A and B are shown apart, each in its own frame.
Chain A
Amino acid sequence: MLDTQPDEGYTTADGRKIGGVAMEMKNITLRFGGVVAIKDISFDIRWGEVRAIIGPNGAGKSSMLNVISGFYNPQEGEVIYKGYRRPRMRPYQVARTGIARTFQNIALFEGMSVLDNIMTGRLNHMKANIFQQAMWWGKAQKEEEENREKVEKVIDFLEIQHIRKTPVARLPYGLKKRVELARALAAEPSILLLDEPMAGMNVEEKEDMCRFILDVNDEFGTTIVLIEHDMGVVMDLSDRVVVMDYGKKIGDGTPDEVRNNEEVIKAYLGVTDD
């Protein structure tokens, strides 16, 4: 039985279709020893939307993303995904349910080329058995062609043709971030989690990244959850925003609603009560 009732969603001002609830976080609490990283937070993510999680340093944003991707298991609360309560899972199992992610401090396979890195994103789409693969026979052949095609599409889309053979370790920071995004995209995820995709970038790189994120959402209809510091970027990109502070949720809504939320202003600007 479905734990949540499906609803139809809506259409945004710029004409994108936002679907029903894809994932719902219910009363999530996460503790490390005595430290409470996330305190009783609930929110939902809809199909096709760009959902941002913002907040000052140490607010628990990354922890939240790690809960979604299964890297942390919360002590309390539950995650409802595609209508069903998700059991305790390991990160690789979560990845296999169609949730791809990037990391704040880039986790790429440094020894491999850009192409190989992106190919690893396709691992879960390879079904041929080990002998077929080794012998390049049967199912393996067709599968490899399909995978190559998908990977080429991603490479094209993110405009990284010129570095496809380059070992990742040699790339500058901004391009590494883009390759990481490419690897996540190659998995054709239902939900894409981006942990500070624009951290440490210059203005030009930021603009590029913004454009890619919007295009991914627009063209593939990928649901995107992102964490970002840069308020301007977040407000431009996202459909809805969750604001966290000290592990608590202090705001949730459209960028405009959040911008005018008093608690949010207080957390960001440090207004004192008097």
Chain B
Amino acid sequence: MPDTLLFAMEAAANGLTAGVMYALVALGFVLIFKASGIFNFSQGVMALFAALTLVGLQSGQIPFAHLINAIFGTRLHYFGFTLPTLAAIAGTVVVMIVFAWLVERYIFRHLVNQEPIILFMATIGLAYFLEGLGDLMWGAEVKRLDVGIPQGMSLAVDETTFNWFGYGFYMDTLELWAALIAAILVGALVVFSQYTKQGRALRAVADDHQAALSVGISLRFIWVLVWSLAGIVALVAGMMWGAKSGVQFSLSLIALKALPVLILGGFTSIPGAIVGGLIIGVGEKLFDFFMGPLIGGATENWFAYMLALVFLLFRPQGLFGEKIIERV
């Protein structure tokens, strides 16, 4: 087999794992957008906040320690015990559900029937608030997150591919795990939205509030539910990216990577988010592999956005978004 093909295959395989992660971040957006028509600008910060909380709980940090120390002159930082990873994850899930409830109770309940742009602005405010809250609660320094997933080159992949092709692919173990976990989560979400009563209710609310009410669906319950789900998705995304490159502010910028995915897949389609994520992941790696050397490299930074732009021109509803039908 020619080397170029092998290298391209390696790039594509790495693109797939990256793509699953993009899909995961995009899913958080899709969930909320489907159910409430809100484009949640704070999704990325939610991932950051979830990761910070996870690290904090895991390492037994005292929340608001800096604030307490500044006011009372104490020198508190840690409780002095650490939590096992699973307990910390469970604790973070609880925090994200409480967060979802608070968001519904104190923000969106008061903005019912407002224009989408107003709701969007509210989520921008929420993003900044949450960013500040995260810093205040857990401190602003870069943190290491270890959830027990091994890092570094995956020997299994290296060996298998070497036996097949005579060339070992380089793939990061962490990324493989991340892709696997993301795939499970995505599968669970698809089953949830397609086959359960709550999923049907969610789709109903997304479509028409009045009609949903008239068949006995509680809008508030559904909103708390989707924000909780989005919070859990954010936690998984934050956990994986955090484990890879540390928990720090730049984590919240992964949300930007989700935008092209959304434009490709459509804002309202869960399968769309998955396929969109994979296309972008594989596309940017392959594009960089083939075209990068010709135009000076670093194409991964902009390829996704360019692809999104092309889609906006020719298929604004995305690959799987609901058809824009206009009856005259």
Contacts and interface: CB of A to CB of B under 8 A. Distances in A.
A176 B221 CA distance: 28
Q: How large is the interface on B (under 10, 10 to 19, 20 to 34, 35 or more residues)?
A: 20 to 34
Contacts of B197: 123, 126, 128, 130, 133
B198 interface: yes
Contacts, number: 91
Contact of A119 (B200, B208, B216): B200
Given A95-B216, A111-B322, A134 B196 contact: yes
Interface in A64-113: 69, 71, 90-93, 95-96, 100-101, 103, 107-112
A100 to B, nearest CB: 7
Contact of B216 (A116, A133, A187): A187
B198 A130 contact: yes
A249 interface: no
Given A95-B214, A183-B215, A130 B196 contact: yes
Contact of B215 (A123, A128, A133, A134): A123
B68 interface: no
Contacts of A126: 197
Given A108-B211, A110-B208, A111-B322, A92 B217 contact: yes
Interface string A189-200: 000000000000
Interface residues of A, number: 34
B207 interface: yes
Contacts of B74: none
Given A110-B208, A111-B322, A91 B214 contact: yes
B200 A120 contact: yes
Interface string B186-227: 001001100111101101101110111111111100000000
Interface of B: 188, 191-192, 195-198, 200-201, 203-204, 206-208, 210-219, 268, 322, 325, 327
Given A111-B203, A134-B188, 8 more contacts: A109-B204, A112-B207, A120-B200, A120-B204, A120-B215, A123-B217, A130-B196, A133-B195
For the complex of A and B, the 7 pairs showing the least CB-CB separation, nearest first, are A95-B216, A107-B211, A109-B207, A91-B213, A133-B196, A126-B197, A124-B216
